[in-house]
Amino acid sequence: MSLTPLSEALERILATAVAHPEQEQVSLNAAIGRYCAEAVNASIAVPPADNSAMDGYAVASGDVPGTLTISQRAPAGSTPAPLAAGTAARIFTGAEIPTGADAVILQEDATLESDRVSLPAAQPGQHIRRRGDDIQPGDQLVAEGQRLRAQDIGLLASVGIDTISVFAPLNVAVLTTGDELREPGSGALASGQIYNSNRFSLTAQIRALGMTVVDGGNLPDDPEQIGDALERVAEAADCIVTAGGVSVGEEDHVRGQIEERGALDVWKLAIKPGKPLAFGQVCGTPIFGLPGNPVSAFVTFALVAKPWLIRRQGGVVVPSPRFPVKAGFALPRPGTREEFLRVTLSGAGEAMRAHLTGSQSSAVMTSLSEADGVAVIAPGTTVAEGDWLEVIPLSAL
Ligand code: AMP
Ligand code: MG
């Protein structure tokens, strides 16, 4: 099988993701990272009334400059009386503007003279936040399929909403494979062993999407046990994500078991890291067989499995932003696959440079943990220092 370009593989894989219709109502405090099941519109204006943007004095702009009597005190949360003609109201940030006032003058610009205050000229409307400046009744606040971030949750709360309808979380089974793997916390490593890191990074990546992990544990490199476990989790999960065992070695049994117990639709992508990714189904349940090298598992999850999971759950897949940054390194030899290089960013504006974080081996996690982003290098391309690159921030992966 020849290598499939990422864009082509994504198109084929995403075409199989039919959205999940189930919804549930959650409190806003439990909504972070969840995907909205319906658009939400505002039923009130924000702010609900004209209010002061500053601490100072509310006046009729026609009465200033001049020295005015202070006729009332209007702190935030109070209901001010109409402004008596020719007077000023002492006012604080967030307090409603008394009717009759049309400007606020900063307290720093006022001079107090016992119960009177000397004020400079004011423009009508100055330092007043108008009713509905932020939100008008009927405005759409969030869209169906949108992922909820902290700022969206705050926006919903600002119109008095405390629960929201989101798509029900997918159940995603995670299985790792490898005789060499030992679980963190289970004691020191014996000869030949390493700790199972993919189980944790993949679980974290899935949880960050608001989805539920069905923990399938780690399996030995044994075809029967792997195949049986895949069939078992296929019943309980909407999707299976495995790590390891999809390459061409004699101990790589995951791909074989996908073929044996289901069907393999895509295998081997023209990307680096992550070439041996396999996609198919077992007992009708879609499966992403990710490569075992930790950076390959992380990157292929982010590039391929994540958009599928989002769409399947009902979310809208937003392409990761790519920012132009100049290379602070050279890549003299062109590759045959699309490459995702781990980079840190230094400097600002025109002087910003992307530097390789160190070893680009797919087994090296430190250079992923240190990275600010990945630079995307097209196949057949060389890079000279100062060339423009496209960098995807790691936070968007
Ligand atoms: P594989 O894809 O099974 O051939 O594994 C490729 C490399 O990744 C090997 O060096 C494995 O030891 C390592 N590896 C596989 N699975 C994991 C895992 N869950 N955690 C950490 N390293 C792994
Ligand atoms: Mg293995």
Asked if 113 and 68 count as a contact pair (C-beta separation under 8 A), the reply is no
Distance CA 178, CA 253 (A): 10
66-115 tens-digit pLDDT: 999 999 999 999 999 999 999 999 999 999 999 999 999 999 999 999 88
* Residue nearest ligand 1's atom 8 by CA: 293
* Residue nearest ligand 1's atom 23 by CA: 292
Nearest atom of ligand 1 to the alpha carbon of 291: 2
**In terms of Cα–Cα distance, which of 80, 83, 107, 93 is closest to 47?**
93
Ligand 2 center from residue 179 Cα (angstroms)? 7
347-396 tens-digit pLDDT: 998 899 999 999 999 999 999 999 999 999 999 999 999 999 999 999 99
User: Residue range 170-189: average pLDDT?
Assistant: 98
Distance CA 271, CA 381 (A): 13
* Residue nearest ligand 1's atom 3 by CA: 244
| Residue 366 pLDDT | 98
Asked if 274 and 376 count as a contact pair (C-beta separation under 8 A), the reply is no
**In terms of Cα–Cα distance, which of 215, 169, 173, 199 is closest to 33?**
169
Nearest atom of ligand 1 to the alpha carbon of 245: 3
Share of the chain above pLDDT 70, in %: 100
Ligand 2 is an ion; its neighbours by CB within 5 Å are 178, 244, 292
Asked if 95 and 51 count as a contact pair (C-beta separation under 8 A), the reply is yes
Helix (H, G, I), strand (E, B) or coil at 58: strand
Ligand 1 binding residues, C-beta < 6 A? 176, 178, 180-181, 194, 196-199, 243-245, 247, 249, 252, 291-294, 363
| Residue 21 pLDDT | 80
285-321 tens-digit pLDDT: 999 999 999 999 999 999 999 999 999 999 999 999 9
| Residue 1 pLDDT | 60
| Residue 161 pLDDT | 98
Distance CA 188, CA 92 (A): 62
Global pTM? 0.93
Ligand of minimum distance to the alpha carbon of 251: 2
* Residue nearest ligand 1's atom 16 by CA: 292
User: Residue range 49-56: average pLDDT?
Assistant: 98
Helix (H, G, I), strand (E, B) or coil at 62: helix
And the tokens for 115? 């119960």
Asked if 91 and 74 count as a contact pair (C-beta separation under 8 A), the reply is yes
Distance CA 392, CA 46 (A): 35
Confidence of residue 139 (pLDDT cuts 50, 70, 90): very high
Q: What are phi and psi of 96, to 5 degrees?
A: -65, 145
Best residue among 182, 198, 200 to mutate for probing ligand 1's pocket (most ligand atoms within 8 Å of CB) is 198
Do strands 140-142 and 338-346 pair parallel, antiparallel, or not at all (unpaired)?
unpaired
Distance CA 294, CA 216 (A): 18
